Amino acid sequence: MTRTPKSDFPKDFGPAVRDVDENFDPYEQSNPIPWPLLAIAGALVIWGGATLYFDLAAAPQGAADQVTRTAQANGTATPAPTVEELASAKADQFTAEGAALFGDYCATCHQPNGAGVRGAIPPLDGSRYVTATSEVPIAILLRGIAGPIEVKDVVYDGRMPTLHDTLSNDQIARILTYVRGAWSNSAGAVTSDQVQTVRAGLTDTLNQPWQGGSALEATFDIPSTPASPTAEAKP
Amino acid sequence: MTFTIGTLVLVSFAVSLAALVVLIWAISKSQMRFTQEDARTIFRVEQRDEGLDDPSVNADDATQPTDAGGHAYHSPESRRVILFMLGMATLWLIVGSTFGLIASLKLHLPDWLNGSAPLTFGRMRAMHLNLVIYGWSSVGGIGLALWLLPTIFATPLRFPKLALAGGIIMNLAVACGAAAIGMGWTDGLEWLEIPWQIDIALAIGLFGLLIPLLNTAYHREVHHIYVTGWYYLGAMIWFPILFLVANIPGINVGAQQATVNWWFAHNVLGLWLTPIGVGAAYYLLPRMIGKPIYSYRLSLLGFWALALFYSQVGIHHLIGGPVPTWVVTLSVVQSIMMFIPVIAVAINQHTLWMSNLPAFRASVPLRFVAIGALMYTAASFQGSLEALRSVNSVTHFTHYTVAHAHLGAYGFVSLILFGGFYYVVPRLVERVWPMTMLIHVHFWTVVVGFAIYFVSLSIGGWLQGLAMLDPARDWMESMELTKPYLIGRSIGGSLMVLGHVAFAINVLAMLSGRGAARVAVLDPTAATALAGGRK
């Protein structure tokens, strides 16, 4: 169908339409993108990039916290261990190696449970010589004992071998770290540096076994009551 | 800087910015070969003069779009499905906004209508939201698309029977969904309340409607796809993806689910209702005024910047929530980047109608669309600012957010849909609206009502937010101080519902066959006499 061309505005639209300039046409054939819009876009881009960049700093920190919290909630080890956990795991390995050495060199006499042999071999479990300052057990291992020694109210008079040739500083440290933390004992770990210090201090006397408990007490000033309260509590 | 997901996000942001720069360069250098002449596509496909076009009251304009041979683009079958969709949308508007008004009244009259569970606030509000989004806006928007796409593509709608079947299924699903919510059966997530079992039907109905539309686009008879087509084609691809991903049960739980929830909810606005509204405005404003948009190249920038930036916007609803900081920050940045497309659309659309104010005064449908377009700018600017952490911490859990949501979904989308209905229906049935007076009633009640609604809630919400942040004040104070503003909201809402009733009466009268038809004479004075006699 064909339609007659009609005016821009029908007559029934009221007087307002008659003010229209029929030739009004503000449009260029191709208007460019206005530069203020591009400027605004550029500013927003810079702002957005900066905001995202500065926000990244918070992300790794939050992630670590989240991993820890999740691990705590589940009661499991964290997949990414912290410095403390790593140190603890290394200490566990150190102690385990000490236990193996203990089995090789010590358990024959002192027994795997550290209880010794009644009337012949003193116990290590709860012994005040074991749990005293680390120099004491180090010195005993290095030089051995030949003389009476009172452990847990029982006097033993036997011979403990001199081991400074047999065992290295590191092995002594591992064995003592295990023994001082095993069973009811809870004395601190021993390092090979500590062993070396004691070994150096005893250079001239390494082949002379300690003359019993009294010699040790005189040298290291061991208290007469057991050092470890847990050892005392044990019947 | 260690490589984190945040770095990846920064890189993807940089890539999308690079894409934007290339786009701007290409547009500036005319690489895209879009000219202002393409903006006149919508005038060329119809054998229709440029100049003010208002079929709502002028019977002479109430003609179907036809090709050069005089064949109508819309077959009777296609017209039937469009009218079905628009009629159903009107029904959902009435029901949905009534539920909204009831929910609003309950906020300051808590003891009113609390006798049974379906009448309680929680269910009323959820039914309101789902009915106006999936019923009114989506059904109405698809109805408009069924008219717009064949018209701008100059070809009849393909598979109109499938579209009708899809429309019936979709409307049944919306009805069932609202009923399920009323009975207390929901998925328990905002915007996703409709149970997923019913969502299957909704999705089937949606596909029944979108397949004919996409097929029509495939068979288009025009060389150039007009900007409205980009927005509608984008929306028709984005929304099914959003809807399926968000509704498949059991994929996401906990904080992830909340993230997907808001990703979906905000994208329904930005990638579904916004393209429907902006696309319709891009057609209706130049069509009604009879002049092309200001800068066709700018519309390209507006569309692609929306596509690039919008999809990440929703997570700003989770500021302070148990979501990685970088996700939220990305969302905040993308929200602010939305200024770019919004300004582009604003320049294009507002320049057109503001330089033709006499037409704005003369045509009520044009007023609806122009104010709707203005509200799009306002809602988007406001929304971008609300995404900032500093503003969000005051406004988010208050009525301010509700006011903002209505500025977008009502002030923008619904007003444009009203204008679209007033323009499209007369051209489909070739009759003008029977009751011109009711169109004016509708316009003024809705505009005044919404102004009261928005201003009250925005002020009340802001004060509420400040009160909640003040540790020296009792929390109850933050609720009590909102009461006068909530009453204001109910007054505004009542006016809006009143306007909807006026609108629905007109739609009902129109569909029942009333309204003056174009007289067959080609004498303009006769048509004018008829128009005068109608009043």
pLDDT above 90 covers what percent of chain B? 66
pLDDT above 70 for A225: no
- Check B326 against A14: CB less than 8 A apart: no
- Which of A154-163, B194-203, B255-264 is modeled with the greatest confidence? B194-203
Does A113 fall in a domain? yes
Predicted pLDDT of residue A13: 45
Check: complex ipTM more than 0.95: no
Q: Which residues of chain B are within 8 Å of residue A63 when distances are taken between CB atoms?
A: 4
Predicted pLDDT of residue B410: 96
**Residues with Cβ < 8 Å from B334, sequence gap 6 or more?**
A48, B309, B310, B311, B312, B313
Question: What are the strands, taking DSSP E only, across B144-276?
Answer: none
* B12 in A contact zone (CB under 8 Å): no
- Check B532 against A20: CB less than 8 A apart: no
Residue A50 pLDDT level (bands cut at 50, 70, 90): confident
Closest Cβ–Cβ partner in B28, B325, B527 for A59: B325
Measure A68 CA to nearest chain B CA, in Å.
15
Q: Which residues of chain B are within 8 Å of residue A29 when distances are taken between CB atoms?
A: 35-37
Closest Cβ–Cβ partner in B9, B35, B48 for A30: B35
pLDDT above 50 for B389: yes
- Check B52 against A63: CB less than 8 A apart: no
Measure B333 CA to nearest chain A CA, in Å.
5
- Check A13 against B362: CB less than 8 A apart: yes
Q: Which residues of chain A are within 8 Å of residue B7 when distances are taken between CB atoms?
A: 56
The domain that contains A174 carries what CATH number? 1.10.760.10
- Check B4 against A20: CB less than 8 A apart: no
Q: Give the A:B interface size as CB pairs under 8 Å.
A: 161
* B332 in A contact zone (CB under 8 Å): yes
Contact yes or no for B528/B443 (Cβ under 8 A): no
Closest Cβ–Cβ partner in A25, A33, A52 for B333: A52
Predicted pLDDT of residue B520: 58
The residue among A1, A2, A3, A9 with the most chain B CBs within 10 A of its CB, best to mutate, is A9
Measure B35 CA to nearest chain A CA, in Å.
6
Q: Which residues of chain B are within 8 Å of residue A27 when distances are taken between CB atoms?
A: 36, 291-292, 294
The mean pLDDT value for A40-62 works out to 77
CA closest to A58 among chain B residues: B325
pLDDT above 60 for B210: yes
Does A200 fall in a domain? yes
Among B163-172, B296-305, B405-414, B516-525, whose mean pLDDT is lowest? B516-525
How do residues A110-164 score in pLDDT, each as one tens digit?
Answer: 888 888 877 778 888 888 888 888 888 888 888 888 888 888 888 888 788 888 8
Measure A75 CA to nearest chain B CA, in Å.
21
Question: What are the strands, taking DSSP E only, across B340-453?
Answer: none
- Check A32 against B1: CB less than 8 A apart: no
How do residues B334-345 score in pLDDT, each as one tens digit?
Answer: 999 999 999 999
Does A82 fall in a domain? no
The mean pLDDT value for B236-245 works out to 91
Closest Cβ–Cβ partner in A11, A31, A48 for B336: A48
Instruction: Kindly write down the DSSP assignment for every residue of B76-139, as one continuous string.
Output: HHHHHHHHHHHHHHHHHHHHHHHHHHHHHHHHH-TTTT-SSGGGSHHHHHHHHHHIIIIIIIII
Say which residue, B415 or A103, is predicted with more confidence.
B415
The mean pLDDT value for B263-277 works out to 94
How do residues B450-479 score in pLDDT, each as one tens digit?
Answer: 999 999 999 999 999 999 998 889 989 999
- Check A49 against B10: CB less than 8 A apart: yes
Measure A136 CA to nearest chain B CA, in Å.
49
Q: Which residues of chain A are within 8 Å of residue B390 when distances are taken between CB atoms?
A: none
- Check A16 against B294: CB less than 8 A apart: no
Predicted pLDDT of residue A186: 83
B281 closest CA partner among B24, B42, B34, B35: B42
Q: Which residues of chain A are within 8 Å of residue B13 when distances are taken between CB atoms?
A: 48-49, 52
C-alpha count within 13 angstroms, C-beta hemisphere, residue B107: 24
Contact yes or no for B60/A6 (Cβ under 8 A): yes
Residue B4 pLDDT level (bands cut at 50, 70, 90): low
Domain locations in chain B? Answer: 431-516+524-535
pTM over 0.90: no
> For chain A, what is the domain count?
1
- Check B4 against A28: CB less than 8 A apart: no
How do residues B35-88 score in pLDDT, each as one tens digit?
Answer: 777 888 888 888 777 778 888 888 888 888 888 888 889 999 999 999 999 999
Give the pair of three-digit tokens for residue A137: 């057990």
* B528 in A contact zone (CB under 8 Å): yes
Residue A228 pLDDT level (bands cut at 50, 70, 90): very low
CA closest to B524 among chain A residues: A6
Q: What share of residues in chain B are helix, strand, coil (percent, to 5)?
A: 75, 0, 25
- Check A30 against B17: CB less than 8 A apart: no
Does A33 fall in a domain? no
Closest Cβ–Cβ partner in B47, B54, B528 for A11: B528
- Check A25 against B359: CB less than 8 A apart: no
How do residues A81-118 score in pLDDT, each as one tens digit?
Answer: 677 777 777 777 878 888 888 888 888 788 888 888 77
For chain B, the C-alpha Rg in angstroms (whole number) is: 23
- Rounded to whole angstroms, how far apart are CA atoms B20 and A6? 43
* B323 in A contact zone (CB under 8 Å): no
- Check A29 against B37: CB less than 8 A apart: yes
The mean pLDDT value for B127-134 works out to 96
How do residues B167-184 score in pLDDT, each as one tens digit?
Answer: 999 999 999 999 999 999
Measure A200 CA to nearest chain B CA, in Å.
48
Give the pair of three-digit tokens for residue A153: 């109210």
How do residues B14-34 score in pLDDT, each as one tens digit?
Answer: 787 788 888 777 776 655 566
pLDDT above 90 for B375: yes
- Check B358 against A19: CB less than 8 A apart: yes
Q: Which residues of chain A are within 8 Å of residue B52 when distances are taken between CB atoms?
A: 8-10, 13, 17
Contact yes or no for B482/B459 (Cβ under 8 A): no
Contact yes or no for B84/B487 (Cβ under 8 A): no
- Check A48 against B344: CB less than 8 A apart: no
Sign of CA dihedral A49, A50, A54, A55: negative
Predicted pLDDT of residue B495: 97
- Check B1 against A56: CB less than 8 A apart: yes
- Find the domain containing A150 and state its range: 88-227
Would you give the DSSP letter of residue B169? H
Say which residue, B254 or B415, is predicted with more confidence.
B415
Does A55 fall in a domain? no
Q: Which residues of chain A are within 8 Å of residue B524 when distances are taken between CB atoms?
A: 4, 6-7, 10-11
- Check B336 against A47: CB less than 8 A apart: yes
pLDDT above 50 for A19: no
Where do the H-state alpha helices sit in B430-523? 436-469, 475-480, 483-511
- Rounded to whole angstroms, how far apart are CA atoms B323 and A45? 24
The residue among A3, A12, A65 with the most chain B CBs within 10 A of its CB, best to mutate, is A12
The mean pLDDT value for A62-86 works out to 71
**Residue type for position A232:** E
Three-state secondary structure of B16-50: HHHHHHHHHHHHHCCCCCCCHHHHHHHHHHCCCCC
Q: Which residues of chain A are within 8 Å of residue B530 when distances are taken between CB atoms?
A: none
